């Protein structure tokens, strides 16, 4: 006689109901998150689920709830942008992206919601993405779209799926967004440099086809003008390490006597600081430097970077909460949220 090697039968709703001493319908209501179940009864059912090792059938549950318990994190990039490294490599080397993912997962994991990462950097990948979304694979979308001409916010809105934008859209959009006050952050940088008595001021600005780049530059210029410094030297970067280094070389070539620089991202500052040092300009004694983001790159800089902190993790957690609210109550309008940045003073200024 041969031994029976077939796997044991999976526990069923009926098994859980028998252990808990309740009806199958009550077990189903607990598993599906019904709010009308008595708390004491819910506890009994949850203990029975643990005892029987019951695992809900997600496919069957989705047919009832019309939910997938998953959302898409969509990262959109401008087509054919002239940069030094590919889109995927640039994304994973940017501390901002990791901070966004961490903040989202802090809220999604306890809610039992999975996250799918999707990239869109050309027409073909956008169409593939939209096809995936339209087929109902996810319940909602967090969209990182930073360029003013990006059509994806409009296309995502047309899917009618719940969606939240990371950052203010470059064009008018009905989508809810979560953002830091970029101009206010730049004003903090300007006030710090002016307070140190620096007068020959320059800035390595972010890309001017991105709202964040535009607002940081405009806010910085306006604040410096209020301090009596109208002529701010500008070199545009691209929010990357190599872009920051190249922009700083251009800035120094035209304005070698700078004594204060606002660099519109910590990652660009990481590339720019060695350029200053190789040019014989000591930081902060001869040139005070202020960055923006307060990412891990700020601590990697030598000297450690004085920077404007935007609370990316908190902002991302709020994006997740707003998205879950939309999924739970489709059609209910939710206000966009703007967070206040702060200045973190370290050794560079």
Q: Is 1 a member of any domain?
A: no
pLDDT for position 84:
47
Query: Quick one: 88 and 147 in the same domain?
Result: yes
CATH of the domain at 32: 1.10.260.40
Asked whether residue 238 falls in the same domain as residue 171, the answer is: no
Report which secondary-structure segment, H or E, holds 51.
Answer: helix 39-52
Residue 144 and residue 75 in contact, taking contact as beta carbons nearer than 8 Å: yes
Instruction: Summarize pLDDT for 279-328 with one digit per residue, the tens.
Output: 999 999 999 999 999 998 999 998 999 999 999 999 999 999 999 999 88
Q: What are phi and psi of 73, to 5 degrees?
A: -95, 110
**pTM: predicted TM-score of the whole model, two decimal places:** 0.77
Q: Do 223 and 266 belong to one domain?
A: yes
Q: Are residues 34 and 20 in the same domain?
A: yes
Parallel, antiparallel or unpaired: strands 306-309 and 342-344: antiparallel
What is the C-alpha to C-alpha distance for residues 121 and 123, in angstroms, rounded to an integer?
7
Same domain, 300 and 199: yes
- CATH code where residue 168 lies: 3.40.50.2300
DSSP 8-class letter at 37: S
Same domain, 107 and 188: no
Strand partners, 263: 204
Q: Which range has the worst mean pLDDT, 77-86, 133-142, 153-162, 328-337?
A: 77-86
What is the separation of C-alpha 168 from the centre of its chain, rounded to a whole number of angstroms? 12
Closest C-alpha to 183, from 198, 172, 195, 168: 168
Question: Quick one: what percent of the chain has pLDDT higher than 70?
Answer: 88
Query: Can you give the residue range of the structural domain that contains 329?
Result: 70-180+312-340
Confidence of residue 102 (pLDDT cuts 50, 70, 90): very high
What is the structure's pLDDT at 147? 80
Q: Total structural domains in the chain?
A: 3
Same domain, 99 and 201: no
Residues 190, 298, single domain; the answer is: yes
> What is the rounded radius of gyration, in angstroms, for the C-alpha atoms of the chain?
26
Regarding whether 284 and 204 lie in a shared domain, the answer is: yes
Q: How much of the chain, in percent, has pLDDT values that exceed 90?
A: 51
- For 116-143, the pLDDT digits (tens) are 998 887 888 888 888 888 888 899 999 9
Whether residue 143 contacts residue 176, with contact meaning beta carbons closer than 8 Å, is answered with no
Q: Is 2 inside any structural domain? A: no
Q: Are residues 190 and 289 in the same domain?
A: yes
Does 305 lie in the same domain as 188?
Answer: yes
Q: Does residue 5 lie in a domain region? A: no
- Domain contains 226: yes
Lateral strand order in the sheet of 260-263: 233-236, 201-205, 260-263, 288-293, 306-309, 342-344
Indicate if the pLDDT at residue 103 is higher than 70. yes
Say if residue 99 is in the same domain as residue 48: no
pLDDT tens per residue across span 167-176: 888 778 888 9
């Amino acid at each position: 006689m041969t031994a029976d090697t077939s796997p044991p039968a999976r526990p069923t709703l009926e098994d859980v109901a028998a252990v808990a001493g309740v009806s199958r319908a009550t077990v189903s209501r607990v598993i599906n998150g019904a709010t009308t179940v008595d708390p004491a009864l819910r506890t009994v059912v949850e203990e029975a689920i643990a005892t029987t090792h019951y695992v809900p059938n997600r496919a069957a549950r989705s047919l009832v709830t019309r939910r997938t318990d998953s959302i898409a994190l969509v990262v959109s990039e401008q087509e054919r942008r002239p940069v030094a490294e590919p889109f995927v490599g640039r994304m994973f080397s940017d501390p901002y992206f990791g901070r966004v993912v961490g903040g989202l997962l802090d809220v999604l994991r306890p809610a039992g919601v999975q996250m799918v990462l999707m990239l869109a950097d050309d027409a073909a990948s956008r169409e593939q993405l939209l096809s995936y979304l339209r087929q109902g694979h996810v319940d909602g979308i967090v969209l990182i779209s930073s360029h003013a001409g990006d059509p994806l916010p409009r296309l995502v809105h047309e899917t009618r799926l719940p969606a939240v934008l990371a950052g203010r859209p470059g064009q008018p959009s009905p989508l809810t967004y979560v953002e830091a006050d970029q101009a206010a952050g730049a004003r903090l940088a300007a006030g710090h440099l002016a307070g140190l008595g620096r007068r020959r001021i320059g800035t390595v600005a972010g890309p001017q086809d991105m709202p964040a780049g535009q607002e940081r530059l405009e806010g910085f210029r306006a604040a410096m003008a209020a301090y009596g410094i109208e002529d701010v030297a500008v070199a545009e970067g691209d929010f990357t390490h190599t872009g920051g280094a190249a922009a700083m070389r251009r800035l120094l070539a035209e304005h070698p006597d700078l004594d204060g620089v606002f660099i519109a991202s910590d990652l660009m500052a990481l590339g720019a600081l060695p350029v200053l040092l190789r040019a014989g300009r000591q930081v902060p004694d001869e040139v005070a430097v202020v960055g923006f983001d307060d990412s891990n790159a700020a601590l990697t800089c030598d000297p450690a970077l004085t920077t404007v902190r935007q609370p990316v993790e908190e902002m991302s957690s709020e994006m997740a909460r707003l998205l879950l609210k939309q999924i739970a109550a489709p059609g209910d309008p939710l206000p966009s949220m703007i967070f206040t940045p702060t200045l973190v003073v370290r050794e560079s200024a």
